[in-house]
Amino acid sequence: MDKFRKEFPVLRKGIYANTAVYGPLYDSLLDWRQEHDLDFLLSGSDMRGEALKVISDTRSAVSTFFNCKRENVALVNNFSSGLNVLLEGLDVKKKILLVEDDYPSLNWSFEKRGYVIEYVKLSEHVEEEIQEKIENNKIDVLALSLVQWLDGFSIDLEFLKKIKILYPHVLIIADGTQFCGSTNFDFNNSGIDVLGASAYKWLLAGYGNGFMLFSDQVENEFDLNTIGFNAADGNFD
């Protein structure tokens, strides 16, 4: 344990208890990042192949870690930017179900785009209320944090799987930022259609790192115009 503690300089000052906001940087990660940047500084475009390999290897690692198809993994700067890109391709006529006072980056992204939105209050009966809203209000999209940022409330993952079985047309979008890394998680068998996370918190990936995981259903529900060379995997066709 002492060996691991020494990796985190911030722990020399006391107990660090704010990983929910920002995961502490550690020595070996900083060393890797500095060496990587130094290679860019000295090699310029000759480093391009290595940089693309890092991105490719990272997608593969995320795919394996969370059991999601590699081609259904996107690497993003953080959850907020990934979700906002995604919602640019979601029909504004969709009816959305949110949890009141959920993480601002989640709720605001829907609220600022003019969707018709229903809400449930966070309580010990939230799962029952979610199901009731879906049943009676023709909900198209359920979006929520797997772990609530205000009080640490954790949604029942088996409940989400049940919702997907009962209402397969409902897209389930989840913020996993306060969840991923806390327990084993099998995305392909979760019933969730989109899971995004800022990986610089509990996953300790360092700033500027996040990911999005997608089910096969998502491709038919979104019409995205955002594209770039790496997003196309270098395929000019």
CB 132 within 8 A of CB 167: no
In a domain, 233, yes or no: no
> For the whole model, what pTM was predicted?
0.93
Task: List, for residues 145-189, the tens digit of each pLDDT value.
Answer: 999 999 999 999 999 999 999 999 999 999 999 999 889 999 999
pLDDT band at 52 (very low <50, low <70, confident <90, very high): confident
In a domain, 29, yes or no: no
pLDDT band at 50 (very low <50, low <70, confident <90, very high): confident
pLDDT band at 99 (very low <50, low <70, confident <90, very high): very high
Residue 5 in tokens: 């503690």
The fraction of the chain above a pLDDT of 90, given in percent, is 82
Residue 67 maps to which CATH number? 3.40.640.10
Nearest one of 170, 167, 171, 156 to 214, comparing CA atoms: 171
Q: Please state the domain count of the chain.
A: 1
Q: In the prediction, which pLDDT does 236 show? A: 65
Strand partners, 219: none
| 232 pLDDT above the threshold of 80 | no
Give the CA distances from residue 48 to residues 6, 38, 41, 159, 234, in Å, rounded to whole numbers and listed in that order: 33, 13, 12, 44, 12
In a domain, 15, yes or no: no
46-50, 58-62, 74-78, 145-149: range with lowest mean pLDDT: 46-50
In a domain, 20, yes or no: no
CA distance 24 to 18: 9
CB 133 within 8 A of CB 139: yes
CB 141 within 8 A of CB 171: yes
In a domain, 42, yes or no: no
In a domain, 123, yes or no: yes
Give me the domain span that covers residue 89.
Answer: 51-220
What value, to the nearest 5°, has the Cα angle with vertex 74 and ends 46 and 178?
120
Task: List, for residues 23-37, the tens digit of each pLDDT value.
Answer: 999 999 999 999 999
Max intra-chain CA distance, the chain = 61
Q: In sequence order, what are the residues at sequence separation of 6 or more whose Cβ sits closer than 8 angstroms to the Cβ of residue 47? A: 39, 40
In a domain, 211, yes or no: yes
In a domain, 27, yes or no: no
What value, to the nearest 5°, has the Cα angle with vertex 17 and ends 13 and 22?
100
